[in-house]
Structure formats: structure tokens, C-alpha cells
Amino acid sequence: MNPLIAPSILASDFANLQQEVEMLNQSEADFIHVDIMDGVFVPNISFGIPVTESIHKHAKKPLDVHLMIVHPENYLEAFRNAGAEILSVHIEACPHLHRTLQAIKQLGAKAGVAVNPHTSISMLSEIIEEVDLVCIMSVNPGFGGQKFIENTYSKVSRLKDLILSKGSKTLIEVDGGVNLDNTPRLLDAGADILVAGSFVFNSPDPTQLISRMKESV
């Protein structure tokens, strides 16, 4: 199966957001990955609800919103209203993850859980059947353009095993430092969705690069 591709708008030119979104509309991208950073959960601030709304106004692809914020439960409705189709919260920011996932589903969105590089897949074993998507961070969240962490391959395999053992339909997303070099091994390990920021937007031909990632089976 071809992977689903989710270019991260964080790496785009914010002064030309409409054009960047229209470029993604024309491409083979499956989602637009929207990185929300609060300067507390992660050491960086990106953008918030009004910008997400503006992206949604022009987007023909569903928004995959990655909340790198503390107390994400307080902002789920606002981001859903701003156009989020998938809402991913960090397991490290959710003491009541089950409740938070139920709240996301009640809003009619797909419920995602993101896990930092140090977080073990075993933390998901009691909840995996409630999760539509697990976002495995292959860098420490907070910045685009970082180096891919090699341990991610085995982590994806362990997650795939857990999903299969529970008979769950959870999708596996990998986020951070993804490029055409690591894509084949990630897909072999069981990844379904690839997020790519700098690799796509720093390219002279982002649309073509998205197609190449899509075809890299």
C-alpha cells in the first residue's frame, strides 16, 4: 500500500501561506500536518487557532493537527472548530488520556496520540484500541529540520506488533526528520503516514517530492 503523506506546514513560508496551501492542494499530499507549539510543552512557539482557521479556509486536504501543548483538553473544541480532522495530543501532556480521547471523538474528529522519543510503546498497551492514530516522534518535538532518531524503526515495529496483537485499526504516523532515505525502512516496519516538513518545503519542487514519497513503496 502507498503511504499517506502529510507535509508539515511549519516548514512553509508563513508570509505566503495561501500559496503554500494551494500548492499542497495540487499535490498528492493526503493531509496537511499542522504543528501547534506553546512554548511550555516544547521550547518553541509556532502559531495557534486563527492561523489554523486561515489554513483551513484554503485547504482541500484534511488538517492533521499535532498539539504540542500542555492541557490540550482545553483547546480541543477550538481546534476542531478551526478545521482539525485529526487531533493528536501528547501522551506526556495527558494524565487522563482516555478521557481526552473520548472528548476528541465526541467532537467528531479522529483521535491521535503522539509519543516523544523516550516514551515506551508499552505505555499504549491499555489504550491502543481507543486510538485512531499514533504519532511516533522521530525527533524531540519543538523544531523542524532536526536529525532523524534511528531507534524509531524498531519502535514502529513494536507498535505494529501491539496493534496487530489487539486487532486494532490504529494507523502509525512518523514525524520528524523524514526523507526519502528513511522512508523505505519506515514503511517496512509498518508506518502508514509520513510527516515531512523541511524535506518537502526546502526542495525546489515540493510537489514532485511529495509524489516521490508517495511512490516509495
Using CB under 6 A, which of the segments 5-13, 105-113, 116-124, 163-171 binds ligand DX5?
Answer: 5-13
Using CB under 6 A, which of the segments 14-22, 96-104, 135-143, 149-157 binds ligand DX5?
Answer: 135-143
**CB of 164: closest distance to Zn ion in angstroms?**
25
By rule CB under 6 A, what string of x and - marks binding of each residue 33-62 to ligand DX5?
A: x-x---------------------------
- Cβ partners under 8 Å of residue 177, min gap 6: 138, 139, 146, 147, 148, 149
State yes or no: 190 annotated in a binding site.
no
- Rounded Cα distance between 45 and 142, Å, is 8
Q: Does 117 bind ligand DX5 (CB under 6 A)?
A: no
**What is the residue whose three cell numbers read 511516533?**
136
State yes or no: 143 annotated in a binding site.
yes
**CB of 1: closest distance to ligand DX5 in angstroms?**
22
Measured from the Cβ of residue 170, the count of other Cβ atoms closer than 10 Å reads 23
**What is the residue whose three cell numbers read 500548492?**
23
- The grid coordinates of residue 49 equal 487557532
**Closest to 40 (Cα-Cα) out of 74, 70, 79:** 70
Bind-site residues for substrate: 8, 66, 142-145, 175-177, 197-198
